Amino acid sequence: MINASLSVDAATPVAPVHRRTFGSFVEHMGRCVYTGIYEPGHATADADGLRQDVAALVRELGVTTVRYPGGNFVSGYRWEDGIGPKDRRPVRRDLAWHSLETNQFGLDEFMTWCRRQDIEPMMAVNLGTRGLQEALDLLEYANHPGGTHLSDLRAAHGHPEPHDIRMWCLGNEMDGPWQIGHLDARSYGRKAAQVARAMKMADRDLELVVCGSSGSTMPTFGAWEATVLEETYDAVEYISLHAYYEEHDGDLASFLGAVTDMDHFIDSVVSTADAVGAKLRDRKRIQLSFDEWNVWYLSRHQALAEVQPTDDWQVAPRVIEDQYNVADAVVVGNMLISLLRHSDRVTAASQAQLANVIAPIMTEPGGPAWRQTIFHPFALTAASAAGHVLRADLDAPVQDTAKYGEVDVVDSAVTHDEETGRTAVFVVNRSVDQQVALTVDLRGLTPTEVTEALTLADEDAYAANTMDDPDRVVPQPNKSARLDGGRLTVTLPPVSWTVVTLSSRTR
C-alpha cells in the first residue's frame, strides 16, 4: 500500500470551471457522421436522420461544444456542397482520409443537431485549398440575419434565423506536411491574420482560434507558435493545441505517466504566448483551445495505412475505430484532470472524436450504440466539476518510467461550487500494481458528507466494452471513501480513476 496526501487550499481558486472544457469533435472522417450521429433509416432516427440512441448518449456524456467539420477534412472542404436540396449535393473525394463524401450532412444539418442537443458549435474554415473570400461567405451564410444573398439563401433552405456561431477555427494543423495546403509558420500566420481581421469586420464579437502546433513533438514546435502569434496576436483570442497518447511496446507505466507531457506542452505554449505578448507590448492574454486530445493508437493506423490499397474510395469506411480499455480510460480521466488544473489558460477543449472514430461512443449501422470505457471519466467529470478549480498540494511518491522519467504515482484535481456547496475530487492512481491510500485535507471547505465515490478499475487493465458486452467496464462504488473531521480518506486500486463528491455547508 502506497500512502499519498492532498492538501486543498480553499482560499486560492485557480480559475472557474469552464463549460467549454467538455467539448467534443465531429469530423467527416470514417463513420463519425455517417452511421455515427446521422443515419437515416435507423430504427431510432428522427425525421432529419439523426440517431436518437446516439443523441441520448451524447447528452449523458455531457458534451457542451463540438468542433466541426474537421480536422484534416476541412482543408479540402467546400462548405457550399453541404447545403440546399440533398438530391443536388455533389459527391466529392476527400483526400485527407481517402474516402467519398456524399455531403448529405452539412452545415445546416449540423446546426439542427447542435440545437437539439443544446451544444455550442465551433466551426472551422478551410485555409488549405481556400481562403479569405470563402471564409467570409461561410460567415455570411451562417451568421448574417438576412437581406443579403447568402443569408437569404440560408433562409430559403429552411433556416430563417442566423446560426450565430461565435467560435471559429482558422484552419487545422497547418504546420503538418500531411495537411492539404500546408504552409510555413510565417505564411500561415499572415493568411490567418488576414482572414481573422476580415471576419471581425463582418462580426466583431467572434472568438477566433489560430492553429498552434499539431503536437509537441513537431520539429517546429515553439518556433511555430511564436511566429504565428507575432502575425495574429491582435486579431485572435485562442491558439490551439493537439495531443494524442498511446501505449507502446507494453510499457504501461510510461503510458499512465503520459499526462506529464501534456502538462509540459500546455505550460510551454502559455510561456511562448506570453513572451510574444510582452514583445508586442500587448497586455491581452491569449487563451488555449486544446481542441484535439485523446488516446489514439496512431502507430496501428499508420501501419495499416501502409498496406491498404490507394485506389479504393468508399463512403464512410471503418477507419481508426480504436477499442478502448481500462488503462485508456484512466489516461483520459487524467487528461481531464490536466485540463481542469490549467483552467486559468485552457478555456476550451475538444475530445477527438465523438462517435466511432477514436470515440467514447460506438455504433453499429442499423444496430445498437454503446459506451466505450473512456466515456465514463468524461461523463462523470462533466457532470461533477463545477464552480472553481482549487489549488491542491500533492505529497506522493514517484515511480520511474522509461519515457517520462520520474512521475508522481497520484494525480488529482479538485473543484468546489460555493453556490451548491458541492466539492469534487478527481484522482488517478498511476501505479501498475500498488494500491494507494489517499488522504485529502478538505477542512477549509467544511465538508459534511461523502455523497458519492466511484472508481473505474479492473483486475484486467486491458478489459474493454464491446457491442456484445457493453457494460464489461463501468465505474463502481468505492466503499472505502470516508470523511472524518474534514479529512477524506479513500483507497485507490492500481490503474484507476476515481471521483469523490462531497457536500459542504454553503456560505
Residues annotated as part of the active site: 173, 292
Cα separation values, 148 from 145, 152, 155, Å: 9, 6, 10
By three-state DSSP, how is residue 44 classified? coil
**Amino acid making up residue 8:** V
CA distance 123 to 282: 27
Query: Which residue intervals of 157-235 are DSSP H helices?
Result: 185-202, 223-232
**Amino acid making up residue 336:** L
Burial 62-75 (b: 16+ CB within 10 A, else e): bbbbbbbbbbbbbb
- The Cβ of residue 402 has, within 10 Å, a number of other Cβ atoms equal to 11
Cα separation values, 162 from 112, 119, 159, 247, 414, Å: 12, 16, 7, 45, 39
* Residue 263, Cβ density class (10 Å: 0-12 exposed, 13-18 middle, ≥19 buried): middle
Closest to 137 measured CA to CA, from 189, 195, 92, 183? 195
Residue pair 378/21 in contact by the 8 Å Cβ criterion = no
| 124 φ/ψ angles, rounded to the nearest 5 degrees | -105, 140
By three-state DSSP, how is residue 135 classified? helix
Burial 200-215 (b: 16+ CB within 10 A, else e): eeebeebbbbbbbbbb
Cell of 312: 479504393
Query: Which residue intervals of 308-430 are DSSP H helices?
Result: 326-341, 375-384
Does the CA dihedral 31-37-38-42 come out positive or negative?
positive
Cell of 157: 433552405
CA distance 263 to 414: 16
CA distance 407 to 256: 9
Which residues, in sequence order, are bridge partners of residue 195?
Answer: none
By three-state DSSP, how is residue 386 classified? coil
> Position of cell 507575432?
230
